[in-house]
Amino acid sequence: MIKDGLPILALTMGDPAGVGPEVSLKALESSSALRNSTIIFGSASVIAFYQDLLQTPSPLHVMASLDDFEQGSVNVINVLDLSFKDIAIGKVSPVAGDAAYRYIEKAISLAMTGKIGPIVTAPLNKEALHLGGHQYAGHTEILATLTGTKTYAMMLWSEIMSVVHVSTHCSLREACNRVKKARVLDCIHLGNAAMQQLGVAKPRLAVAGLNPHSGESGIFGREDRDEITPAVEAAQAEGLNVTGPVPPDIVFLKASQGKFDLVVAMYHDQGHIPMKLLAFDSAVNVTLGLPIIRTSVDHGTAFDIAGRGIAREESMLWALKIANRLAEHRS
């Protein structure tokens, strides 16, 4: 579905008790081009609350169908309408957790049939999601399940550097167990393809080590020698521009200096800490391996500032822009 040369984006507003509705509205109000190519999937009453709070100028249009798109308005598909009589701003709620799931579920169903373009997600709260009856670790796992995707990975993109993760939402002990040649190689392939889709013809990839000094030839652990190195060598044999394992205490510095386009990190915090430090307001979460495009903000529901009108929309703006860029190169 295309309007004004851009694919129609589905922006799921996330947990209605968090900052998702606010940053979604702020992002669309900042750009007429984005506003005219984006549909919010969520609650019209919650969006109306934030329009009043922020005194935004664009009218709210509740769509009766996908064909009922109104230029110049904030277009909303009222998947599950809630008000702040039903939930409390800034509080964990099973009602809000269930709503956040239903917003993404509806968007995925339409994206899988080609009726809308990329999905851009505002944050959900994992505790609320579970209380609402949906036992997923987060958005990534919901998307993988509902699209039937078996091989996928989380990538964090920024203008400074990008990172793809071998594992994400699991214990550190389990993360070490998941460092296997096949999985590392999958992440190299997914990351390389994603960077090409973002316009980098020959991506320069670095694979981070797991252990200090990348294991020091097995002295500090065998994973780097037995699992990571064989994956890197296999990718090199395929002609990919891959280096590693690079000691984890230096690889992100080199990437931030422009020596690599992408780092394959071995676990959640290994990749997230440098990205949060260097690109907290501008990083974008991209799910790789899906049959549809999905990007997201790289922050949580921020219940502590929800409803105060002070949430920053930069990450959401970047998520929308990167979704469009991925769609352009995919097509």
The mean pLDDT value for 30-35 works out to 93
**pLDDT tens for residues 107-149?**
999 999 999 999 999 999 999 999 999 999 889 899 999 999 9
Q: Are 17 and 122 members of one domain? A: yes
Is the same domain home to 137 and 7? yes
Q: 240 and 144 in one domain?
A: no
Residue range(s) defining the domain that contains residue 240: 152-282
Condensed to tens digits (0 to 9), the pLDDT of residues 311-325 reads 999 999 999 999 999
Tell me, yes or no, whether 209 and 308 share the same domain. no
Q: Are residues 300 and 266 in the same domain?
A: no
Least Cα distance to 107 among 284, 290, 283 occurs for 290
Q: Which pLDDT score is estimated for 284? A: 94
**CATH number assigned to the domain comprising residue 66:** 3.40.718.10
Q: What predicted TM-score, i.e. pTM, was given to this entire model?
A: 0.91
Mean pLDDT of 208-220: 90
The pLDDT of residue 89 is above 60: yes
| Residue 216 pLDDT level (bands cut at 50, 70, 90) | confident
Q: Is the pLDDT of residue 33 over 70?
A: yes
Same domain, 29 and 102: yes
Q: What is the pLDDT of residue 113?
A: 94
Residue bearing tokens 């990008």? 162
**One domain for residues 7 and 122:** yes
Question: Do both 301 and 255 map to the same domain?
Answer: no
Predicted confidence (pLDDT) at residue 2 exceeds the cutoff of 80: no
Mean pLDDT of the 297-307 span:
94
267 and 197 both lie in a single domain: yes
Token pair in block for residue 22:
């606010």
Shared domain for 198 and 137, answered yes or no, is no
pLDDT in tens, 250-270: 999 999 999 999 999 999 999
pLDDT for 169: 87
Q: How far is 171 from 175, CA to CA, in rounded Å? A: 6
For 166, half-sphere exposure in the C-beta direction (CA atoms, 13 angstrom radius) is 28
Long-range contacts of 269-277 (CB under 8 A, 24+ apart): 269/172, 270/165, 270/208, 271/156, 271/163, 271/164, 271/165, 271/208, 272/156, 272/163, 274/161, 274/163, 275/156, 275/158, 275/161, 275/163
CA distance 265 to 139: 19
Pair (183, 132) in one structural domain: no
- Over residues 279-294, the pLDDT tens digits come to 988 899 999 999 999 9
Number of structural domains (the chain) is: 2
My answer on whether 145 and 158 are in the same domain is no
pLDDT at 331: 53
User: Between residues 140 and 62, which one has the greater pLDDT?
Assistant: 62
Mean pLDDT of 233-237: 98
